[in-house]
Amino acid sequence: MSAAQVWLAIAGMALITGITRALFLMGGERMILPERVQRALRYAPAAALVAVVVPDLLITPNGLSIAFSNHALYASLCGLAWFLWRRGMLGTIVVGMIVFTVLRLFA
């Protein structure tokens, strides 16, 4: 890509981002979203987090991997299990880091 194409892409993304955010601001309180849309938007942060985290866990330099050598994946799964069991964020981080460290050192 040339420098002009990169700047054109950045400007286009900025314009689209600005327009989509401005639509909600311009509507203000006059614009009421249907209940179904409001319920769907509650899941947007979790969906965005999954879209960022899952590829990072599954993609390795060798491609897609669910092998035991993918320590980050299994540490994350252990952290998720801890969170679902205890509902504590600090414990989730500690368990994930301990499992990740043990796997890196001994597996």
Confidence of residue 90 (pLDDT cuts 50, 70, 90): very high
Write out pLDDT tens, residues 36-76. Answer: 999 999 999 999 999 999 999 999 888 999 999 999 999 99
Confidence of residue 32 (pLDDT cuts 50, 70, 90): confident
Residue 86 lies in a domain: yes
Q: What is the pLDDT of residue 28?
A: 73
* Pair (23, 75) in one structural domain: no
**Span 73-94, average pLDDT:** 96
Confidence of residue 107 (pLDDT cuts 50, 70, 90): confident
DSSP letters, the chain, are --HHHHHHHHHHHHHHHHHHHHHHHHHGGG----HHHHHHHTTHHHHHHHHHHHHHHHEETTEE--STT-HHHHHHHHHHHHHHHH--HHHHHHHHHHHHHHHHHH-
Six-digit token string for 93: 């981080």
Average pLDDT, the chain: 92
Question: Could you give the number of structural domains in the chain?
Answer: 2
Q: What is the pLDDT of residue 21?
A: 87
For residue 98, the enclosing domain spans: 42-106
* Pair (47, 94) in one structural domain: yes
* Pair (51, 91) in one structural domain: yes
